[in-house]
Amino acid sequence: MISVRDLRKHYQVHKRPPGLMAAFRSLIHRTYTTVKAVDGISFEIKPGERVGFLGPNGAGKTTTLKVLSGLLHPSGGEVMVDDHVPRHREDAFLKKIMLVMGQKQQLLWDLPPSETFELNRAIYDVSRAQFKQTLDELVTLLDLGDLIGKPARQLSLGERMKCELAAALIHRPKVLFLDEPTIGLDVSMQVTMRTFIKSYNERHGATLILTSHYMDDVAALCPRVIVIDKGQLSYDGGLDALVQRVRPEKRVVLRLEQAVDVARLAALGKVVTHDNATAVLQVPQEAVNTTVSRALSTLPVQDLTVENAPLEEVMSELFAETKARRETVSA
């Protein structure tokens, strides 16, 4: 479905020091530097897959999505999306894809979302019958009822984002690029969006690439993740395997009936957090069984769970690891 080979996107960026003199000097002599937003990444995505595209700010995630959706012309490499070269922006290609950006809107600002839906129906040449069926489905699943008749500017961020998603799906795209779709939304709205996105993928078999800084989005939606940093690929594989690789230790979370001395906890494993009612221990995977049985027999445990390290920590450790490796190479 999606094939990316040695994709590169480099920008020439004008650079100057601060100050008035520098501003005047830049009139005569401009200095440019090349920013390698994406620098030789390759991957394949199968039809119907849900893939998380992760990386720190400035890693090149959004740039890659923009290349995949035909908005940007790559500086090098080959990109194919469902047998189309995105930069050619053929109608058949544009009718198959959609890019939803949490920080950009396609809704007509002063008109109700229903106008944008109708506009998209006409532009994507969707039959009246299919439009009605799709819209009814979207209105029900996203609970849009009263929202589609209010001017977009009067909707809350969460309401607007639901309408944005609905507008993006009027033509039932086969490939959906989601760039931080839950940014700024409250927790319950994030859950609504995730549930809807997953059900869209399952019902229509759509291929989905998601970027998000909310690891809950990634954990809920993406069995596979691609991690890029400074424009280069640093991981491509299962989410569980990534966690195993970066943080093989497990977390034993204890709910305690009464306060326990930290020294007693430390005897079982590395104490991550500890207060009167809870304690979190980090232990090697092979020591989980022993630790659990010792905790149950020696401590006043009310409840116990074994978890992976939080995804946020896994990611920040991975980014730190990649950065250290890069510094070693450049040194």
Partner 1 sequence: MSMRGTLRAMPTLLRVGVSEAVAYRAEMFIWVLSTTMPFISMALWTAVARYAPVGRYTSADFVRYFLAAFVVRQMTGAWAAWMINYEVRQGTLAMRLLRPISPLWAYAAENLGAMPLRLVVVTPVAIAAVYLQGWSSVPQTVWGWAFFLVALFGGWLITFLVNVALGTLSLYMESSTKLMDVWFALFYVFSGYLYPVELFPPALKGLVDWLPFRYQVGLPVELMTNKHDFWTALTLLGAQWLWVGLLLLVSVVLWKRGLKRFAAFGG
Residues forming contacts to partner 1 in the complex (CB under 8 A) are 11, 62, 66, 69-73, 89, 91, 94-95, 97-99, 101-106, 108, 110-111, 115, 118-125, 151, 179-180
**Residue among 89 and 132 whose Cβ is closer to partner 1:** 89
Sign for the CA dihedral angle at 248, 50, 225, 281 comes to negative
**Residue among 99 and 193 whose Cβ is closer to partner 1:** 99
**Residue among 131 and 200 whose Cβ is closer to partner 1:** 131
Burial 219-256 (b: 16+ CB within 10 A, else e): bbbbebbbbbbbbbbbbbeebeebbeebbebbbbbbeb
* C-beta separation of 50 from 224 below 8 A: yes
Question: Cβ 326 to partner 1, closest distance in Å?
Answer: 25
Sign for the CA dihedral angle at 219, 106, 89, 204 comes to positive
CA dist., res. 157 & res. 139, Å (int): 17
Residue 51: closest CA among 212, 246, 288: 212
**Residue among 14 and 29 whose Cβ is closer to partner 1:** 14
**Residue among 102 and 269 whose Cβ is closer to partner 1:** 102
- Look at phi and psi of residue 143 and say left if phi exceeds 0, alpha if psi is from -120 to 50, else beta: left
